[in-house]
Amino acid sequence: MQPRQVTVCLPALNEAATVGRIVRTIGRELVDRGIVDEILVVDDGSTDGTPEVAKAAGARVVAADGSEPGAAAGKGAAMRTGLAASRGDVVVYCDADVRNFAPHFVTRLIEPLADPDVVFVKAYYDRPLHDDPHGGGRVTELVAKPLISLLFPDLTAIRQPLAGECAGRREALEALDFAPGYAVDLALVIDLAERHGMEAIAQADLGVRVHRNRTLDQLSDQSRSIIAMVLQRAGIALPDRSRPAAVGTVLPA
């Protein structure tokens, strides 16, 4: 049996402040020790020098399909590009804006894949917000979890359904259509559970994760894309915006 190859893929959009340290940590602590075989940064139209910083730190850098400087293709497209460009039998996705990144963000994700029945591993962690050690994850708590409980109750055991840190077997990931934008993180769980069952999805405790918190405007866009994806996966049609609204009907913004 051939030893498995592991790729760490970092989708990145304007993460020059953090991506270099993450790449160097993976290179020093995991590549040099033979745990990881490849570091791949997928740049999604950055304008702050993210590709140059990542390359200088030791990553292979590719552009997300459909992106160009100043025009992002979205996280789903970046993750799909990373899968196609990677060489690993196991692909680990980590967000590039994490400020307290450590090697266990990767090792704890790949450990459960030693079980041949596990095809996907999802991270969970505490997410501080300002002075509140558990105040992060606003879209998770206010949007994703309520939707899951109503429409996909079998998935309520997933503690961080929107976690950007995950790992999967190549053959399982290649069979999926990656949802666009930030909806991709939850869509992967829904789609893999449908194909393989919840017993094929493991979870890994990463401890505490500190990252760049987004504004409410940014979270609103993220929430909209997640809601649309979940309704679509549940077979619920969205309003047809091409038709005039009935009197008293307000279409979603």
- Secondary structure class of 63 (helix, strand, coil): strand
Model confidence pLDDT, tens digit, residues 167-206: 999 999 999 999 999 999 999 999 999 999 999 999 999 9
Q: How many CB atoms lie within 10 A of CB 198?
A: 13
Sequence-distant (≥ 6) Cβ neighbours of residue 244 within 8 angstroms: none
Percent of the chain at pLDDT above 70?
86
How far, in Å, CA of 193 to CA of 233, rounded?
12
First to last CA, the chain: 53
Amino acid at 12: A
pLDDT level of residue 240 (50, 70, 90 thresholds): confident
Percent of the chain at pLDDT above 90?
78
pLDDT level of residue 219 (50, 70, 90 thresholds): confident
pLDDT at position 131, please? 59
pLDDT at position 253, please? 47
Model confidence pLDDT, tens digit, residues 105-134: 999 999 999 999 999 999 999 866 555 444
Q: Is the pLDDT of residue 249 over 50?
A: no
- Secondary structure class of 171 (helix, strand, coil): helix
- Secondary structure class of 188 (helix, strand, coil): helix
Model confidence pLDDT, tens digit, residues 79-107: 999 999 999 999 999 999 999 999 999 99
Model confidence pLDDT, tens digit, residues 220-230: 888 999 999 99
